[in-house]
Structure 1
């Protein structure tokens, strides 16, 4: 059963509360999404660790309930 974009966003927000999150359904099928996650916690963190933080927030759903996720992460600019 496909995941809804709102559910993906809610999971990421629960794990990274101060993130700005954009979810796009790439194929219109509920199985292929793109996510852009921008968060202060990513400052100074290598990109692979940023992605690991998002995957951790998804709680093991990648590759199972969530088939494909094109992930873009970046740190919130310092003020």
Structure 2
């Protein structure tokens, strides 16, 4: 699993921002993610911390190559893929 994890594309925060933003953080609705970030539905890693808050809806999400069922009233905290970022 570690070998596959090391070969995943690494997404940076700038990929999630609109062109006008210049803040050290980004707030985006999950509905907008697939429109703004190409390949987000495929396995990938992040070079930044991410907080996902699910207020409603459902689905599946892979975190560290493990599948999780997403339901309302959940929160996920993701850390960067590698310590050297």
Q: TM-score normalized by structure 1?
A: 0.27
Q: TM-score normalized by structure 2?
A: 0.26
Structure of greater Rg: 2
Larger helix proportion, structure 1 or 2?
1
Higher RCO, 1 vs 2 (CA within 8 Å, ≥6 residues apart): 1
